[in-house]
Structure 1
């Protein structure tokens, strides 16, 4: 039971494999959390396929929200706002919001498997077609559209669905589906549209409607043009509404959604964000407990801060007052979070997933996992213990000396940034006839190095085009690994700020959106309907308030500084970075040699 006085806010985060809810007070303290696994469907016949279900996701959200109310003792009357974030996955429904299945070679009739997960790579040919057009929309995705984005997936569906079924579908980026499911309002978030749906805000580069009819016609999606893009949310001010982060959606929770969630009808719902951007909201305004005395910030200061939201994959988000085009880095996206500001997003398609893969596929894995269970510890603790022992035995000045002849290049699932090449694959150099636990520990550490080196590659690519990244703000499960965080600081040569809670940043960011929506609702701002001019006016008028909420509700973190006392560390990591970049060229050259022969 909590004795804290309300009001309270709930943040909901839908990640790759779970749905989580958190109850937050005015200070940003999480009073209660609940998480439930969501189900991902695969096809044995096609490893590219990753599908989920909005029915399953919504059910898990409802259970988690009810849990946080029950465990905290907070009355639903005291919950005033709700915010959602989710992965950038494509949710497909009919015009009434009922799920339509998307499985290859299915009947594409009503069915639960209606979400094409972000990691699904079925749309490779569609992405190639889109990238061959040279259309202006490509200037706002780092010049190369990823097959993980929504329009390649919609185009895949157009090619495989019966025409009459396709024409009746609505297509949502998952965060927008959740606000639709909660409110019944089809308003879309600027974040989802600009980042994943080939939407270029009016006024940018000659864009008039936001949607680009010439682009959609060129790639064969004429159907979407005929009804003023209603299947994607419509044209703002005509038959659609586009909102910036946290603006109130419709008139809050519907009676049905409120009953399912255990909340009051009309509770404010903030326009959602893709999960990485919610992580940015929940970390980037934080002070540091061991930082300088004066840590006052304003919205413009965010341009020097890169947020890295690390889980299954890692996203790297940075905001700037002007749009900066970085080849191979998504964006620049105008209004993605704050109106008038631009975002770039780098990314690594597989980080946490890669670490798990390297461990799980090693012959020594099962034995070490069994030992960890016997000792009541984790396999990671055992691996770090082995590395410490090896360091002492070999008199190694740093752990990176242990892997001096072992190199892992990490793109087993393709490269998201800064190469934007989904055909890249992983490499390992320095293999030995060794199946022991020490060999696993070394491969594990080489994997951490590879992820850190690729982060440096992304940062250097951003800075080369005009960004000035001075600090890396981490969040996600990888934050718990102190050795990894120090390696990240040493490799990138900048301070790394750890969050107050490794798991709280994303869901706390969504709770901030819920509070912002409630405050605007309290001011009498009603954005239901298609009042686009009103929405845009309100977004600029109140954007500084959203930043202040981020400052007020984000708990202080802790800085990790690069090791500047021992030049050996910098020297060896610089050498490994040279090897890392050469591995890219080597792989491409080798593939070219074989391709010519074929």
Structure 2
């Protein structure tokens, strides 16, 4: 049986899945990642740990799948920044650490300095570059470790995975346009880089040798960029020579699935909500649309001939975790749920139902409100310095209070989503349906009193 191996690297784990040619999922496996948080705004990995987790998840998934012939491999990942030294050997930005996670916010001053240039390329990120993107991180690195960075190469994590698998330095258009300010509409052989912009922000060294440190060649997602090398084949448990495709950002991999779901799917007006540690709201348009505070338009980031817009919330699933786990009743509620063979979130949803009665759950939070920007506001305010707040706290610390706080967090994310959709609509983007997928399923245990509708009013 021919099958495909998909490998996804999220914020907290690496996951592998094996699917047959009809799209039927045959097996999955996962391996946790070690995210290092040594200080405020710090978030880092060891690339060796990421690659080890990828290998363990891949080998286990293939073992569970049984007798299959893997004919293609695809990677997606978060947009973390991997620093690679001369000859492909990892180089540490801190001792033994060579990967800066997407949620690392140490480069906020660098993002502000880039914004201050007012350069025209910033139109493609809603007018303001995010510290979660790579140019601010690269500027921070070059200011902090100038000697180490002169000979280094820099990869978005999805591209680094294909590099490790094949040895190919061809980068994905997806990562390049979304996180590196590459303008793919100008070409795939380096024409999309703007050397004048790089010089203006203090990164002229990245233009050396035809932009070798950041990529000379790019490919649309899904295009084969190489074949699985022998060492990588042994590590992943897949056949030598298997075709490996250009990668995707993890949220865009999710968007590809939900926007194209169903035979003859009409993408017009559909917005994907990719619900993970953060949330991404991705829409496709036939023509470029510029929306203040919303990333994009990105040419060819998902499908050739289309433009992508990306809004989002920096803390989404992480927000719900923070609210629930930080409550005094969380531990006892979780223990009670586990004894009953349920998830904590199922238990909280049932309690909300009972508390709401016939009046509806919205009544439960009339005096309790969450301002959800615990990790800044990604869109449409584009302010990474914002912080969250909870208004309406009482002295109660019981499970009813926990359930109300959980509900208020969900409502806060919903209001933030509405704000982003309204901002896109105001610039002419059609929004008729919101299609949701991702890792919130365990957190959003919705009941009849908390419906999710595909239709957007």
What TM-score range do you get, normalising by the shorter chain? over 0.9
Q: Which residues in structure 2 correspond to 1:388-467 (within 5 Å)?
A: 388-392=353-357, 396-467=358-429
SS of 1:296's partner is: coil
Distance 1:7 1:327 in 2: 45
Structure 2 residue runs of 5 or longer lacking an equivalent are none
Distance 1:117 1:280 in 2: 21
Distance 1:485 1:418 in 2: 30
State the 1:485 CA deviation. Answer: 9.8
Q: Could you list the per-position Cα deviations for residues 187-224 of structure 1 after superposition, in whole angstroms to 9, with x for gaps in the alignment?
A: 011111100012112539xx982111111111111211
Q: Structure 1 residues 423, 185: CA separation in 2 closer, same or farther (over 3 Å shift)? A: same
Task: Give the match for residue 178 of structure 1.
Answer: 161
For the aligned residue pairs, the C-alpha RMSD in angstroms reads 1.9
State the 1:405 CA deviation. Answer: 1.7
Task: Give the match for residue 218 of structure 2.
Answer: 242
Task: Give the match for residue 338 of structure 1.
Answer: 303
Distance 2:47 2:139 in 1: 21
TM-score of the aligned structures, taking structure 2 as reference length: 0.95
2:361 touches 2:449 (CA, 8 Å); kept in 1? no
Q: Could you list the per-position Cα deviations for residues 383-405 of structure 1 after superposition, in whole angstroms to 9, with x for gaps in the alignment?
A: 1232122223xxx5210011112
SS of 2:42's partner is: strand
Task: Give the match for residue 190 of structure 1.
Answer: 173
Q: Could you list the per-position Cα deviations for residues 472-509 of structure 1 after superposition, in whole angstroms to 9, with x for gaps in the alignment?
A: 1111122353528984746xxx528xxxxxxxxxxxxx
Structure 1 residue runs of 5 or longer lacking an equivalent are 1-5, 234-239, 288-294, 497-561, 563-598
Q: Could you list the per-position Cα deviations for residues 124-168 of structure 1 after superposition, in whole angstroms to 9, with x for gaps in the alignment?
A: 1100000111111100011110000011001111001142x2111
1:24 touches 1:32 (CA, 8 Å); kept in 2? yes
Distance 1:87 1:407 in 2: 30
Distance 2:190 2:245 in 1: 26
State the 1:266 CA deviation. Answer: 1.3
Distance 1:92 1:346 in 2: 27
Pairing 1:227–2:192 present: no
Which residue of the other structure, out of 320, 337, 349, is the alignment partner of 1:372? 337
Distance 1:279 1:384 in 2: 26
Q: Could you list the per-position Cα deviations for residues 562-591 of structure 1 after superposition, in whole angstroms to 9, with x for gaps in the alignment?
A: 8xxxxxxxxxxxxxxxxxxxxxxxxxxxxx
2:121 touches 2:181 (CA, 8 Å); kept in 1? yes
Task: Give the match for residue 138 of structure 1.
Answer: 122
Distance 1:348 1:428 in 2: 17
Larger Rg, first or second structure (1 or 2) = 1
Task: Give the match for residue 43 of structure 2.
Answer: 50
Q: Could you list the per-position Cα deviations for residues 428-460 of structure 1 after superposition, in whole angstroms to 9, with x for gaps in the alignment?
A: 222222122111111110111001111111111
Pairing 1:69–2:62 present: yes
Q: Which residues in structure 2 correspond to 1:64-143 (within 5 Å)?
A: 64-75=57-68, 78-103=69-94, 106=95, 111=96, 113-143=97-127
Task: Give the match for residue 446 of structure 2.
Answer: 483
Q: How many residues align?
A: 455
TM-score of the aligned structures, taking structure 1 as reference length: 0.73
Distance 1:156 1:425 in 2: 22
Q: Which has the higher helix share?
A: 1
